[in-house]
């Protein structure tokens, strides 16, 4: 299994994250931050149903912290953005926030719109690299 993982990835950081049960180095980094803050990083322990116009789906948040959900994103593709707009419309009581590897990344090649600008437009809170301390204080 380990050889298969190594063949699928070239990043040592990602390989270490996979060994620890995460799919990215960013997820592992945020989990470590939560542990250091005394918060149990219950990674992907909840499933939230939502409906696309044609079918039902389930969303597994990265870090469900009660009604506050922290979703880590290295890439924030069109399908992710659409999913989060549907989730917000169908579950307005859930506060989904993003931690991006880099919030200034354009949403697509050649676009002037960044992940941060998209979040601002649709009212999602976001941060770079780690969860802001203020968000962690909201949990207590």
Q: In which residue are the tokens 């180095």 written?
A: 25
Give the CA count within 13 Å in the CB-facing half-sphere of 71. Answer: 23
Return the structure tokens found at 67: 């009604």
Q: Any idea which fold 26-138 has? A: Restriction Endonuclease (3.40.91)
pLDDT tens, position by position, 7-22? 554 688 889 889 999 9
Q: Is 36 strand, coil or helix?
A: helix
Q: What is the pLDDT of residue 4?
A: 52
pLDDT tens, position by position, 42-74? 999 999 999 887 788 999 999 999 889 999 999
Confidence (pTM): 0.73
Q: What is the pLDDT of residue 120?
A: 98
- Domain boundary assignment for the chain: 26-138
Q: Which residues pair with 127 in a beta bridge?
A: 99
């Amino acid at each position: 299994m380990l050889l298969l993982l190594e063949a699928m990835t070239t990043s040592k950081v990602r390989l270490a994250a996979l060994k620890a049960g995460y799919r990215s180095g960013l997820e592992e980094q945020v989990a470590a931050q939560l542990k250091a803050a005394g918060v149990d990083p219950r990674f992907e322990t909840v499933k939230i149903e939502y409906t696309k116009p044609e079918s039902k789906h389930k969303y597994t948040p990265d870090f469900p912290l009660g009604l506050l959900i922290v979703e880590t994103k290295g890439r924030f593709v069109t399908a992710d953005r659409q999913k989060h707009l549907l989730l917000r419309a169908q579950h307005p009581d859930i506060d989904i926030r993003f931690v991006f590897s880099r919030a200034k990344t354009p949403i697509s090649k050649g676009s002037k719109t960044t992940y941060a600008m998209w979040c601002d437009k649709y009212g999602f809170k976001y941060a770079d690299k780690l969860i802001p301390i203020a968000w962690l204080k909201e949990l207590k």
